[in-house]
Chains A and B, each alone.
Chain A
Amino acid sequence: RKEVEQDPGPFNVPEGATVAFNCTYSNSASQSFFWYRQDCRKEPKLLMSVYSSGNEDGRFTAQLNRASQYISLLIRDSKLSDSATYLCVVLRGYNKLIFGAGTRLAVHP
């Protein structure tokens, strides 16, 4: 079993739709959580950190459920430019990021 699991998708949604991605992690000692975005054939870039109380950045909302070891990312009012792969990332110990394989999102007109 992978340490960080994500639905690979793809999620095909129209512009303006709301879409949610889920991620589960197996190491209960994990302390920090992130969502990275990776465009096709490009490098990953940090989208947002995920805090215990949940956090929002514009159209993006991240939630963490430690009891269920579950992380989510909600994108509202999807734009064509949101098309990318979204990587769920967990910090193991104090220095190792563990990456999920990613969920692909395709937003169409």
Chain B
Amino acid sequence: NAGVTQTPKFRVLKTGQSMTLLCAQDMNHEYMYWYRQDPGMGLRLIHYSVGEGTTAKGEVPDGYNVSRLKKQNFLLGLESAAPSQTSVYFCASSYSMDREKNIQYFGAGTRLSVL
């Protein structure tokens, strides 16, 4: 009954360090997403993927890269972390992008602080 699993749950980085956030889903979903959530703002889409081997930019892609080498995994990379990237990161997946069926299932989130 895992659903969407994110690792790590917490991380503190120094400015300039790099890291990768891992998202894994066991629901055989085609579509996966990375969001960030900041106080007073809605979740904002960073990157998304419509299938294995494909990725696309979302609303706030700068400073992030992603890869979807396997259908069940979606990785989010920060090459050179900045304090502005301090946030809570959520991964999500969905079975369909059809209207009224785009129900997204979220992981528990990763709390990232960049000092």
Contact = CB atoms under 8 A, between A and B. Distances in A.
Contacts of A46: 103-104
Contact of A97 (B40, B41, B102): B102
Interface string B77-101: 0000000000000100000011110
Contacts of A96: 45, 48, 58-59
B104 A95 contact: no
Interface in B39-82: 40-45, 48, 50, 58-59
Interface string A1-31: 0101000100000000000000000000001
Contact of B99 (A8, A45, A91, A102): A91
Most central of A34, A87, A96 by chain B CB within 10 Å: A96
B34 interface: no
Contact of B42 (A45, A51, A99): A99
Interface residues of A, number: 25
B22 interface: no
A30 to B, nearest CB: 10
Contacts of B13: none
Interface in A54-109: 87, 91, 94-102
A32 B43 contact: no
A49 B59 CA distance: 23
A34 B105 CA distance: 13
Contacts of A34: 103
Nearest to B48: A95
B40 A8 contact: yes
A13 B102 CA distance: 32
> When A and B form their complex, which 6 residue pairs have the shortest distance between CB atoms, in order from nearest?
A99-B42, A43-B106, A95-B97, A99-B43, A101-B42, A32-B99
Interface of A: 2, 4, 8, 31-32, 34, 41-46, 49, 51, 87, 91, 94-102
